[in-house]
């Protein structure tokens, strides 16, 4: 899709009408598959085109006469899904968005292409896109925080293996988001420096606001990582408490039956004892054993050992 900026309005155009006239400004949206066929028409050299097609990292490059951005964008609500990649090429005349699917761009800023939105420059389109890309992220991070809070409450009632799996999944999600905002922040700072003078001063102010927002989002992710770490420590403490309680039960049971073991060992010796001849020896030993068990239980209960 090609749009020409005329009288502060983006109007749909065709690739064949693109010229190098200074007063002509274009916004171009294409897929990676289409790039090779049209790159010369929009002024993208072969090396940059190869980086667009084969790149796998987020980065910002400010070369002579143009800026190039490659951004790996995760799904904030589900960072474990495969991210999608967006490349941006900006010079004095052309702003090109290259991505897997044009719908990715139009879903965010499709409303500015209907002719009703005033656009002062093509760099403003880039600013609007980055703004829409990040404006809802706060709500997604709040949902992740709510998920961590629910997990923490669940630890009060029970501890199982699923809790540990959930904690590890949350840590992995937040690590992905941390890297994303860290790289995005570096990109926004690079754009804000405006080495090539491709962005007007009014739009630069908007990019400064964007940089601050990304920095706040990065800080939020760091806080959530700390929160998950605290939940993990609480989980481990609860596991340790449960194990200690279990060992306490085993210790109490062993202690209760230890006197009975002594009695069994005593009368298990192959020696002739006087009480063997007594008619009620066996019932008496049983009765004494029961008294010992009951006495130990009562004593341990009073001391609150179990």
CATH number at residue 270: 1.20.58.340
What's the distance, CA 129 to chain centroid? 22
Question: If you average pLDDT over each of 2-11, 82-91, 158-167, which comes out highest?
Answer: 82-91
What's the pLDDT score for residue 198? 81
Residues 258, 224 within the same domain:
no
- What is the pLDDT confidence band of residue 251, given thresholds at 50, 70 and 90? confident
Task: Map residue 23 onto helix, strand or coil.
Answer: coil
pLDDT of residue 270 exceeding 70, the answer is: no
Residues 45, 83 within the same domain:
yes
Residues 130, 255 within the same domain:
no
Residues 30, 87 within the same domain:
yes
Q: Provide the token pair at 12.
A: 């749909």
Boundary of a domain, candidates 185, 208, 239: 239
What's the pLDDT score for residue 306? 63
pTM of structure:
0.75
What's the pLDDT score for residue 160? 60
**Cα–Cα distance between 161 and 262 in angstroms, integer?**
40
pLDDT in tens, 187-228: 888 888 888 788 888 888 888 898 999 999 999 999 998 888
Residues 235, 254 within the same domain:
no
- What is the pLDDT confidence band of residue 60, given thresholds at 50, 70 and 90? confident
Residues 234, 249 within the same domain:
no
Residues 81, 204 within the same domain:
yes
- As to burial, measured by CB atoms within 10 angstroms (0-12 exposed, 13-18 middle, 19+ buried), residue 187 is buried
**42 compared with 172, residue with greater pLDDT:** 172
Task: Map residue 6 onto helix, strand or coil.
Answer: strand
Residues 250, 149 within the same domain:
no
What's the pLDDT score for residue 6? 77
Query: How far, in Å, are 60, 119, 261, 282 from residue 298 at the CA level?
Result: 74, 84, 19, 25
- What is the pLDDT confidence band of residue 275, given thresholds at 50, 70 and 90? low
Q: Provide the token pair at 130.
A: 């980055």
| Residue numbers of the domain that contains 28 | 2-239
Residues 153, 51 within the same domain:
yes
Which conformational region is residue 98 in: left (phi greater than 0), alpha (psi within -120 to 50 degrees), or beta?
Answer: beta
Residues 264, 194 within the same domain:
no
Per the structure, how many domains does the chain have?
Answer: 2
Residues 174, 107 within the same domain:
yes
Q: What are phi and psi of 54, to 5 degrees?
A: -105, -5
- Closest C-alpha among 96, 26, 27, 87 to residue 54: 87
Q: Provide the token pair at 10.
A: 């983006």
Residues 235, 277 within the same domain:
no
Boundary of a domain, candidates 198, 222, 239: 239
Boundary of a domain, candidates 218, 239, 260: 239
- Closest C-alpha among 47, 45, 69 to residue 58: 69
pLDDT of residue 182 exceeding 60, the answer is: yes
Q: What are phi and psi of 160, to 5 degrees?
A: -140, 180
**Cα–Cα distance between 106 and 104 in angstroms, integer?**
6
């Amino acid at each position: 899709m090609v749009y020409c900026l005329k009288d502060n309005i983006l109007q749909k155009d065709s690739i064949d009408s693109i010229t190098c006239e200074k007063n002509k400004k274009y916004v171009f949206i294409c897929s990676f598959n289409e790039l090779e066929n049209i790159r010369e028409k929009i002024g993208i050299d072969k090396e940059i085109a190869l980086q667009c097609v084969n790149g796998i990292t987020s980065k910002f490059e400010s070369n002579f006469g143009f800026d190039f951005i490659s951004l790996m964008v995760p799904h904030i609500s589900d960072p474990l899904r495969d991210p999608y990649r967006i490349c941006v090429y900006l010079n004095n005349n052309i702003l090109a968005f290259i991505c897997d699917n044009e719908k990715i761009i139009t879903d965010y800023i499709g409303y500015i292409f209907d002719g009703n939105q005033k656009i002062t420059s093509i760099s403003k389109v880039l600013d609007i896109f980055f703004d829409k890309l990040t404006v809802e992220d706060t709500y997604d991070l709040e949902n992740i925080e709510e998920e961590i809070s629910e997990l923490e409450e669940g630890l009060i009632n029970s501890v199982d293996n699923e809790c540990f799996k959930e904690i590890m999944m949350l840590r992995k999600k937040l690590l992905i988001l941390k890297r994303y905002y860290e790289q995005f922040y570096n990109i926004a700072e690079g754009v804000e420096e405006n080495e090539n003078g491709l962005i007007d001063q009014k739009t630069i102010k908007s990019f400064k606001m964007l940089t601050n927002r990304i920095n706040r989002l990065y800080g939020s992710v760091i806080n959530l990582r700390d929160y998950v770490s605290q939940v993990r420590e609480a989980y481990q403490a609860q596991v340790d408490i449960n194990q200690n309680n279990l060992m306490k039960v085993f210790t109490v049971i062993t202690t209760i039956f230890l006197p009975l073991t002594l009695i069994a060992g005593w009368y298990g010796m192959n020696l002739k004892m006087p009480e063997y001849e007594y008619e009620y020896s066996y019932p008496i030993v049983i009765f004494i054993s029961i008294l010992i068990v009951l006495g130990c239980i009562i004593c341990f209960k009073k001391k609150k050992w179990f």
